[in-house]
Structure 1
Amino acid sequence: MPLASTGELVTRAAAARSAVAAFNVITLEHVEAVVAGAEAADAPVVLQVSENAVKYRYGRLLPLARAAVAAAERATVPVALHLDHVQSDDLLRQAPGAGFSSVMYDAARLPYADNLAATRAAADWAHARGLWIEAELGEVGGKPGQGGSRTPSPTARDAHAPGARTDPRQAQDFVAGSGVDALAVAIGSVHAMTTRTAALDHALLARLSAALDLPLVLHGSSGVPDDGLVAAVGGGIAKVNVGTALNAAMTGAVREFLAAHPEAVDSRKYLAVGREAMAREVTRIIGLLSGARR
């Protein structure tokens, strides 16, 4: 079917008091697993390509983007493409021609005034070309450059440091001044967690949901226990980003297969096992989120 619009999927999920799952993809196996998992769940899904994934692919967006478009167009459920955590204006400008209906412009590493100005400029550019745009306010943590620096440092603030979480009043000003369509909020989750021990600040989420009239997004969901994710959707999250959970599923399955078959050299054998493990995780997460009602 034709490519879906991220904005429409998120808006529909918010109206249904649910959340749409958005999965970060790195390889063709990721793309195929997300689509297969969504089809098994009979639910819409968002394929996300991050700036880091583009860097991994020799800095080229189109090879992975075109594969994602082809998979989406052949899917039996609505699939949208989202360009995630974009800091490069050059990459932002490639989004419309590569099949993306939305972009997350990430200037959260900058001081507030600079974040606002950069995001306003990005939103104006994106809206003029029909793109739905997401931004981030606060410090989710776990990514290089958090704490106002482009490289990690021992003094960089983390997701639990004073002042790291999204302030509702500042968020109101930021949304009004930037013109974004959705906001990723810092409520205690951390990117790239491999343990599910993150404790979300649900009281803060309730305040943010009451203060803001736009969809809220949760980044770093892989470190959040299932009950925390369900509660987050109940508290107003309408888009949930998933990345590390897929990588953990794939790596675990591949590692187990190679341990059991040390003679294996055909990459299709172990990549198929990894792809199937990711697809099962996609189906599970979509079911979890679609079953959560506010």
Structure 2
Amino acid sequence: MPLASTGDIVSSAAHGVGAFNVVLLEQLEAVLAGAEQANSPVIVQISENAVAYRGALGPLAAAAREAIAEAAVPAALHLDHATRTDLVEEAVRCGFTSVMYDGSHLPWKENVARTRETARWCHDHGVWVEAELGAIGGKDGAHAPGVRTDPGEAARFVADTGVDALAVAVGSSHQMTRRTAELDLGLIRDLRAAVPVPLVLHGSSGVDDTTLTHAVHAGMRKINMSTHLNTVFTAAARSRITSQPTAVDPRGYLRPARDAMKHEVARMLRLLGEGPV
């Protein structure tokens, strides 16, 4: 299928939309195969960190576009956690249907100004824009433990910047390998009532199934996930390498890793798409 609009996928969703980060070709294949297995739209995400690892955006972006063109379900391509405007512009030139500009590490006024400028430029090029609020310091920014988004500030931020979606801090944190995060569901409902654009949950890897479902029904729409799927992928690869210590062909351990991630992507998409509980 042609690249889908991120905005169309999110706005047409009755419940949650899965947005899954990829670094390797096998992970890209797993996300799309899992979406096909679940018969669900999906958002493929490439982060600024993934670009740094690979040394360039173009090759992985090209692979994503080609893979999405062969997919049997709608899939969008999203740039995640971009702090550099030049990377945002490159992603738009590469055909991404949405970007997340992350100014959460900046003071309020500077975050608003830079996000507004980025949103205007992206909208001029037909690209959907996500942003977030945050505090200075630490990689987690808005998603550091204990940080919470104020509904009034969130509404003002959206009005002042013109973004299409907002990542909010409600109790999750990036890079959690245990699913023990406690979300403030009441705050999610307050944010949903105050903010006129879709809410995005970052750090979803640290949230268990039941809480994720409740978060979606409280008002979250785009659910970002990376570490949890990396954990599933790596566990399958490690198991195969451990059981066959003399094997040298990477296909021997990447194939089961890809399959394990595919099945988990399908499971998560079904979970996020469930009706009210």
TM-score (norm 2): 0.97
**Residues 157, 8 of structure 1: CA spacing in aligned structure 2 closer, same or farther, 3 A cutoff?**
closer
Match of 1:217 in 2: 200
Distance across 2 between alignment mates of 1:228 and 1:218: 12
Superposed CA RMSD in Å reads 1.5
- Please list every run of at least 4 consecutive aligned residues from structure 1 whose deviation after the TM superposition is greater than 2 angstroms: 156-161
Unaligned runs of 5+ in 2: none
Decide whether the 8 Å contact of 1:43 with 1:77 is kept in 2.
yes
Matching of residues 69-88 of structure 1 within 5 Å: 69-88=65-84
Distance across 2 between alignment mates of 1:101 and 1:20: 15
Q: CA deviation at 1:292?
A: 4.0
Q: CA deviation at 1:160?
A: 3.5
**Residues 158, 181 of structure 1: CA spacing in aligned structure 2 closer, same or farther, 3 A cutoff?**
closer
Matching of residues 93-132 of structure 1 within 5 Å: 93-132=89-128
SS at match of 1:232: helix
Match status 1:239 vs 2:235? no
**Residues 203, 84 of structure 1: CA spacing in aligned structure 2 closer, same or farther, 3 A cutoff?**
same
Decide whether the 8 Å contact of 1:233 with 1:293 is kept in 2.
no
SS at match of 2:257: helix
Match of 1:67 in 2: 63
SS at match of 1:247: helix
Match status 1:275 vs 2:258? yes
Match of 1:143 in 2: none
Decide whether the 8 Å contact of 2:143 with 2:172 is kept in 1.
no
Unaligned runs of 5+ in 1: 139-146
Decide whether the 8 Å contact of 1:22 with 1:45 is kept in 2.
yes
Matching of residues 150-169 of structure 1 within 5 Å: 159-161=144-146, 164-169=147-152
Decide whether the 8 Å contact of 1:51 with 1:86 is kept in 2.
yes
SS at match of 2:23: coil
Match of 2:136 in 1: 148
Select which of 23, 27, 32 maps to 2:20.
23
Decide whether the 8 Å contact of 2:18 with 2:224 is kept in 1.
yes
Distance across 2 between alignment mates of 1:36 and 1:157: 32
**Residues 157, 235 of structure 1: CA spacing in aligned structure 2 closer, same or farther, 3 A cutoff?**
closer
Matching of residues 35-74 of structure 1 within 5 Å: 35-58=32-55, 60-74=56-70
Decide whether the 8 Å contact of 1:3 with 1:80 is kept in 2.
yes
Q: CA deviation at 1:159?
A: 3.0
Match of 1:257 in 2: 240
Match of 1:141 in 2: none
Q: CA deviation at 1:213?
A: 1.3
Match of 1:287 in 2: 270
Decide whether the 8 Å contact of 2:17 with 2:273 is kept in 1.
yes
Q: CA deviation at 1:157?
A: 8.9
Query: Which structure features the higher share of helix residues?
Result: 2
Q: Number of residues paired by the alignment? A: 277
Q: CA deviation at 1:97?
A: 1.8
Q: CA deviation at 1:111?
A: 1.0
Q: CA deviation at 1:158?
A: 6.8
**What percent of counterpart residues are identical?**
53
Distance across 1 between alignment mates of 2:133 and 2:267: 29
**One-letter code of the match for 2:276?**
R
Match of 1:199 in 2: 182
Distance across 2 between alignment mates of 1:6 and 1:152: 25
- Give per-residue Cα distances to partners, 1:104-126, cap 9 Å, x unaligned: 00000111111111100110111
Distance across 2 between alignment mates of 1:235 and 1:185: 13
Distance across 1 between alignment mates of 2:94 and 2:244: 39
Match of 1:134 in 2: 130
